[in-house]
Chain A
Amino acid sequence: AQKVTQTQTSISVVEKTTVTMDCVYETRDSSYFLFWYKQTASGEIVFLIRQDSYKKENATVGHYSLNFQKPKSSIGLIITATQIEDSAVYFCAMREGQAGNTGKLIFGLGTTLQVQP
């Protein structure tokens, strides 16, 4: 069965440092897509970055990058030069590429990031 696990409940870092958030997933699909979303204090859920399973290169968008380790079924989110406004809840999610036609996202439970001055 599909599953996404985020083991870190919360992380606290000092501003301008780098933080890594962990995520592992389970799927029987050979093709799948991995996403990271951010939920702000207002509750809004915003897409950050994605990794397609067939791509070997780690995705990078702005100060977000991914550490995709396919043999370990792991997709870590790296935020460099953190800012106070990066404080939020971060969700890892997976979408299977072949199983059925649902297109649904399976989410992890989220990691709360607090960036302190």
Chain B
Amino acid sequence: EAAVTQSPRSKVAVTGGKVTLSCHQTNNHDYMYWYRQDTGHGLRLIHYSYVADSTEKGDIPDGYKASRPSQENFSLILELASLSQTAVYFCASSDRTKNTEVFFGKGTRLTVV
């Protein structure tokens, strides 16, 4: 069974503070993704990576950075957290074969106050 683990599972951050969300996968997958979920917007792609030490911008990258130091780990960084970044964040991974499913972590609920 594929495993994608996110930490922390929930966090309260102060406006203007730095937040790092971490993701670890044990599937030996090439692709990793960060999605954001807001009510009424479904899941939107923030950043993704298909190889270690390289990241790509997704559809809504502004205000976020990503880091992929190894194949297993993928972090999402909010350098200056803002109220509008309050959301649930999902990390996911998949094999490079595009017809295979994407596996999701359980999500991180981030509240910026």
A91 x B31 contact (CB < 8 A): no
- Judged by a CB distance under 8 angstroms, whether A76 is at the interface is no
Residues of B near A109 (CB, < 8 A) are 40-42
B50 CB contact (under 8 Å) in A44, A50, A97, A102: A102
In the complex formed, the residue of A with least CB distance to B104 is A45
Check B106 against A104 for contact (C-beta < 8 Å). no
Q: Of residues A33, A44, A45, which shows the largest number of chain B Cβ atoms within 10 Å of its Cβ? A: A45
Q: Which residue of A lies closest to B102 (CB)?
A: A105
In the complex, A101 has a CB within 8 A of chain B: yes
Q: Is A25 an interface residue (CB 8 A)?
A: no
Nearest CB to that of A53 among chain B residues? Answer: B99
Instruction: List the B side residues contacting A91 at CB < 8 Å.
Output: 42-43
B51 to chain A, nearest CB (A): 10
Known: A102-B56, A109-B40. A43 touches B99 (CB 8 A): no
- Shortest Cβ distance from B40 into A: residue: A109
- Per-position contact with A for B94-111: 1 when CB-CB < 8 Å, else 0? 101011011110110000
Q: Which residue of B lies closest to A110 (CB)?
A: B42
Verify B43–A107 contact, CB threshold 8 A. Answer: yes
A91 to B27, CA, bound (A): 23
Q: Which residues of A approach B to under 8 Å, CB–CB?
A: 33, 35, 37, 42-47, 50, 52, 91, 93, 95-97, 101-110
B: which residues have CB within 8 A of A? Answer: 31, 33, 40-45, 48, 50, 56, 58, 88, 90, 92, 94, 96, 98-99, 101-104, 106-107
Q: 5 nearest interchain CB pairs?
A: A45-B104, A47-B101, A109-B42, A107-B43, A33-B99
